[in-house]
Amino acid sequence: MLVNVKDTIIETAIGEKKSLGTYAGKVLLIVNVASRCGNTPQYAGLQQLQDKYSDQGFLVLGFPCNDFGGQEPGSLDEIKEFCSLKFGANFELFNKVHAKGSTTEPYTTLNKTEPVGDVSWNFEKFLVGRDGNVIARFQPGVQPSDEELLAAIEVALAS
């Protein structure tokens, strides 16, 4: 099933509603993030991806999520400070979301991507093409430097 996110309404870090359609023409990597997870070092790699590909229209969008083992208990300000100081990450972070169970956007929409179902853990990744269609879903263990992810990003940027 083709999943398109352009009509999906999300909440910014300052509580404003925003459509993912405002990112039309960009390639997005949407990630549910957490500061106290074994995958937390991926913040650095995600920032490296944004630094490497941003000139080509690529953005990482981080959605803090406390659904998995309570691994994101902090406030958004605390999360931003942690990410910046510890990993040099300055990609866009949004208000906390729920990625499983009673989900909130963007995950109510993203979880319809194959394989359909709730996000399995922190740092699951969804690659979205310039047209707003979800291209691929990557499990949490897929590192930002993984060849499969890099190849998918480069194909998306070339189209």
Catalytic residues: 37
* Unique residue bearing structure tokens 């999943």: 3
Compute CA distances 6 → 3, 23, 60, whole Å.
10, 8, 16
The helix (H) or strand (E) run that includes residue 46 is: helix 42-53
Q: How many CA atoms lie within 13 A of 84 on its CB side?
A: 9
Most distant pair of Cα atoms in the chain: their distance = 40
